[in-house]
Every structure is written in structure tokens, then in C-alpha cells.
A = this chain, B = another copy of it.
Amino acid sequence: MKLRLGMIGGGPGAFIGAVHRIAARIDDDYQLVCGAFSSDAAKSKAMGATLGLEETRTYGSYEELIAHELQLPEQQRAQVISIVTPNHLHFQPAKLALKNGFHVILDKPATFSLEEALALKAVMQASGKQLCLTHTYTGYPMVKEARRLVATGAIGKVRKIYVQYAQGWLSQLEEGTGNKQAAWRTDPSKSGIAGAMGDIGTHAFNLAEYVSGCSLSHLCADINTVVAGRQLDDDGAVLLKFEGGASGVLVATQIATGAENNIQVSIYGEKGGLEWQQNNANSLTVRWPDKPAETWRTGGSYTSSVATHNTRTPAGHPEGYLEAFANLYHNFALTIRAALANQTASAEALDYPGIEEGIRGMAFIEHVITSGKSDIKWTPFIID
């Protein structure tokens, strides 16, 4: 049976809400049954109507959604709540949902602050419910294959981790032009203490740790607000040191004029190297010192179960961003269904980002902003 899904946020004009809904549909694991799409009840109703929801299950606030859904028979009630609001509106609805027995899918970054993320973990643990954090890029089959190759020692002990996420869409003061996406992302009351570092730096950080299997230990950040009049950082670069000895560089910028969205990661170990980039997402380059580089491809007959589990079509039919996003939704659904059936979820099902990644992401934001303001070179990465 499909899991019954509710959504908080994702009203008209929102980018990521629509993406979540497509992701939820692709593998047919969910049925959207309710939503609080906007704090403006009329807008929420209108969106619900567009989406074919019953009017009684389109709400004007997340509190109303939770309260009303709880009054429904368990067989009708939403089981999973997707929260796709700006960052300052993550913690309270997530907490309320978990406490009341809903599983939660949360857009990144997890919360408004590290403190909230730590609190959310405690709530979640007490609730016994699951949480999925949508770090999309770890949903790509070739990213997962890269992680597997590192984990199985194929490239040897990791030495270097380079990750880069360059965008150009904020290269002018978009927030002054009525661009809603730009407005909240550059507003510290909604985004938190970081702009680019929260919005895309956390993605890059998550990707680096996910693929390399290494944990950040120290960082040294150069954080800039390049566009005059902007309230938060729109650019940064960070030197990284990892537990176990690897080092690297993270670049996240939103003012690289003309750059699209080409997040990329390269990992070099003692025996070989791996390179992946989103604009060629179905290929993974594997480099060796003494034989030709290999191009692993989504759907390739030689790919591992971790890749094929996350692939829908044979090699050569490109899968993209929405499919990567759908992989998070699908694996989360498999995990919840296993729980509903009192079964242990498979390793493939459990391979989605959760609260731990959320906490590390929020810690990254706090440390990177601290480091950016510091005259001392290395800031240790410590989560109390």
C-alpha cells in the first residue's frame, strides 16, 4: 500500500515543494493526502485544490494539520509529513509531527540552528519515528557507487577530498527584485546565520563526507558577501582536514556568474581516484595510476546492487535530479514499510540521509561561519 503523505510548505511559487511532490510520485510509494501549503489559508486551499486534495484536508497551519489528522482514523491519517518550508520553519513542525507519531521528511538544512538539530534528534529518538533529510545528491546511483568503491577499499586510503558547488543565480541582488527564492534564502531571520554555506555548502559538505566515508575534523574558511547589500554570505571556500588524515577543499558560491548547478566531488586515495559531477550525473570516472580510466555508468551491467537498487532504466537512458530525489523518498518508504511490517530494512533501504547528517550539516554551518570570522587558521570541528 502507498504511504499517506502530508506536506507542510510548498505553496505556489515554491521551488522545492514541487520537487518533493514529483519525487514522492515517481516510484508510487506515497499518496499525498493532506497539506498546509501556506500560512495563508486561502492560498493553502487553492494549492490543495490544484493538487486534488479534499478540502477538509488542506490546512492553514502545520498545527492545524497535525491536530486534525490525529482526529482521523488511523487508516486515513497521514503517515509521513514532508516539511519543505524555509529553514526557520523546520524545527517546530518536525518536532510536533514526530511527537504525534508521524514520520518526517525534512528539506535541508535540518533546522535554523545546531541547537535545534540536536533537540530534534532527542525528539526523534523519543518518538520512535523516522526522519529523512533530503540531501538530494547522495541519491544519485553513481554517487552511491562511488561511496561503495571507497568503502570497499578500491581506491585505497583516502587522501584528498575536493568538493565544489558553484552557482551563479545570486550574482546580482536578486532579493531586491521580488524573487521569492532569493528573498528568504538571503534573509537571516529565515535562513539562519548562513546564506550560501547553508543553502549549498551543506550539500557539498554532506556529499564529501558521504562519498569519502571520512569525518571532518578541522576547517579553515574564507566566507564572503560579494554582492553589495546582501545580508548573508553568498560565497565561500574552506580548507578541510578529516579524521584519519585526508584533507581537502570545499567551494560553495552563488555568485559565479553563468555557473549552473554543477556540484562535483573528486576523491583520491592511495590506489586510485574518483570523479563525479552533476552535469554528467550518470557517469563516474574511476582513475588508476597504471591502467585506463574507467567510466562507470548508471544502469551498467557491472554496477553493484547499491547502484542498481537506485536505478530505474538500462544504461544510456539518463536519470536525473528528480530520480535522485526520488531515491531518497523510495528508500525512506522501504524503511517505513519494513518497520510497519516489523521487519529489518535492507541496507539499500536504509541508505538515506537522516538526523545525524542534519546535525553534522548544522554544525558545519556554525563552524564555517565561526571560522570565517576567525584570525586563527584551523577551527576544530566539534559537536558537543
Q: Are A171 and B318 in touch, CB under 8 angstroms?
A: no
CA distance A273 to B315 in the complex (A): 16
The smallest beta-carbon distance between A338 and chain B, in angstroms, is 17
Residues of A344-384 contacting chain B, CB below 8 A: 374-378
Interface residues on A, range: 35 or more
Residues of A57-108 contacting chain B, CB below 8 A: none
The smallest beta-carbon distance between A98 and chain B, in angstroms, is 27
CA distance A130 to B364 in the complex (A): 52
The smallest beta-carbon distance between A245 and chain B, in angstroms, is 8
The smallest beta-carbon distance between A154 and chain B, in angstroms, is 11
Q: Are A257 and B239 in touch, CB under 8 angstroms?
A: no
Which residues of B are found within 8 Å of A316, using beta-carbon distances?
167, 259-262, 278-279
Q: Are A222 and B247 in touch, CB under 8 angstroms?
A: yes
- Return the contact of A26 from the options B251, B269, B279, B322 (Cβ within 8 A): B322
The smallest beta-carbon distance between A370 and chain B, in angstroms, is 12
Q: Is A296 engaged at the interface, CB distance under 8 Å to the other chain?
A: yes
Residues of A85-140 contacting chain B, CB below 8 A: none
Residues of A188-210 contacting chain B, CB below 8 A: none
Which residues of B are found within 8 Å of A235, using beta-carbon distances?
159-160, 247
The smallest beta-carbon distance between A1 and chain B, in angstroms, is 6
The smallest beta-carbon distance between A79 and chain B, in angstroms, is 15
- Return the contact of A317 from the options B247, B261, B273, B318 (Cβ within 8 A): B261
Given contacts A169-B314, A294-B294, A378-B375, A237 and B258 within 8 Å (CB-CB): no
- Return the contact of A377 from the options B220, B287, B299, B318 (Cβ within 8 A): B220
CA distance A152 to B349 in the complex (A): 45
Which residues of B are found within 8 Å of A291, using beta-carbon distances?
294, 302
Contact digits for A1-22, partner B, Cβ 8 Å, 1 yes 0 no? 1100000000000010011011
Tell me the interface secondary structure of chain A in the complex: loop
Which residues of B are found within 8 Å of A180, using beta-carbon distances?
none
Which residues of B are found within 8 Å of A175, using beta-carbon distances?
none
Which residues of B are found within 8 Å of A301, using beta-carbon distances?
289-290
Residues of A224-252 contacting chain B, CB below 8 A: 224, 226, 235, 237, 239, 241, 247-249, 251
Q: Is A256 engaged at the interface, CB distance under 8 Å to the other chain?
A: yes
CA distance A260 to B318 in the complex (A): 11
Residues of A18-45 contacting chain B, CB below 8 A: 18-19, 21-22, 25-28
Q: Is A270 engaged at the interface, CB distance under 8 Å to the other chain?
A: yes
Q: Are A224 and B251 in touch, CB under 8 angstroms?
A: no
Q: Is A293 engaged at the interface, CB distance under 8 Å to the other chain?
A: yes
Beta-carbon nearest neighbor of A287 in chain B: B258
Which residues of B are found within 8 Å of A319, using beta-carbon distances?
320-322
Top 10 A-B pairs, shortest CB-CB distance: A258-B287, A261-B316, A260-B316, A318-B320, A292-B294, A317-B321, A320-B320, A258-B273, A256-B268, A25-B25
**Further contacts, 20 of them, CB under 8 A, given A159-B256, A220-B222, A289-B301:** A28-B51, A168-B268, A168-B287, A168-B289, A171-B289, A220-B220, A220-B377, A237-B239, A249-B251, A253-B268, A257-B272, A257-B273, A257-B289, A258-B272, A260-B315, A262-B316, A286-B292, A317-B320, A318-B318, A322-B322
18 examples of A-B residue contacts, CB within 8 angstroms? A1-B52, A18-B312, A25-B26, A28-B52, A159-B255, A162-B251, A168-B268, A220-B377, A255-B268, A256-B268, A261-B315, A278-B318, A280-B280, A282-B320, A294-B294, A322-B322, A322-B323, A375-B377
